């Protein structure tokens, strides 16, 4: 078993879609970033990479690479999951905490959980999603950003199913 912790934060700006967990949420503002700004999937990818002793997503997807401008968080997570599968690990469970003043995230928990489970190739019962506010403190608390913390538990597998492929890889 291995554990990993990930964190990400992006500023909210007008004119961008708000993507969290690969789900577009209704909002007048979205997260600014070289990618789609999906702090949840970025934090989750970093947690997976951390559990494997790998560098963070910035090493795999540098913000200086113009070819990946606007890349979806799901593709970033997929790269982390591919690294995980190479080492014959699978996600036992994942838990994330979003920190935001707005929009209200509780109404979207189940959609986000279901999509994260689908992307990660695990049961929705093994995905936790919750949100907190920053109590009006700092940029997140003043509604200028959204942050996310993630933790994953990886377990070694003899047979690994690459998430999203439906194919078993036996090593």
Pairing mode of beta strands 145-156, 89-99: antiparallel
Rounded CA-CA distance 18/10 in Å is: 11
If one compares 158 and 1, the residue with the highest pLDDT of the two is 1
Mean pLDDT of 125-146: 95
pLDDT tens digits for 95-126? 999 999 999 999 999 999 999 999 999 999 99
Give long-range contacts, CB 8 A cutoff, 24+ apart: 50-59.
Answer: 50/4, 50/5, 50/6, 51/2, 51/3, 51/4, 51/84, 51/89, 51/152, 51/153, 51/154, 52/2, 52/4, 52/83, 52/84, 52/87, 52/89, 52/154, 54/80, 54/83
Statement: residue 46 has pLDDT above 90? yes
Q: Which residues contact 46 (CB under 8 A, 6 or more apart)?
A: 4, 5, 6, 7, 8, 56, 57, 80, 150
Share of the chain above pLDDT 70, in %: 92
Share of the chain above pLDDT 90, in %: 80
Q: Give the model's pLDDT for residue 50.
A: 97
Cα within 13 Å of Cα(48), Cβ side: 27
Looking at the whole model, is its pTM more than 0.85?
yes
Q: Give the model's pLDDT for residue 169.
A: 46
pLDDT tens digits for 47-99? 999 999 999 988 888 788 888 888 889 999 999 999 999 999 999 999 999 99
Domains of the chain: 2-170 (3.30.1330.50)
């Amino acid at each position: 078993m291995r554990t990993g912790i990930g964190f990400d934060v992006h500023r909210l700006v007008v004119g961008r879609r708000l993507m969290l967990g690969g789900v577009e949420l209704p909002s007048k503002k979205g997260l600014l970033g070289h990618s789609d700004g999906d702090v949840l999937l970025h934090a989750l990818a970093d947690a997976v990479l951390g559990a494997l002793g790998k560098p963070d997503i910035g090493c795999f997807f540098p913000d200086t690479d113009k070819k990946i401008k606007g890349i979806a968080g799901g593709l970033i997570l997929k790269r982390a999951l591919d690294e995980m599968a190479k080492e014959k690990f699978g996600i036992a469970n994942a838990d994330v905490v979003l920190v935001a003043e707005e929009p209200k995230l509780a109404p979207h928990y189940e959609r986000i959980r279901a999509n994260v489970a689908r992307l990660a190739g695990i049961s929705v019962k093994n995905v936790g999603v919750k949100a907190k506010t920053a109590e009006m403190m700092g940029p997140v608390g003043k509604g200028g950003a959204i942050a996310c913390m993630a933790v994953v538990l990886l377990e070694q597998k003899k047979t690994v199913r690459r998430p999203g492929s439906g194919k078993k890889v036996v090593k």
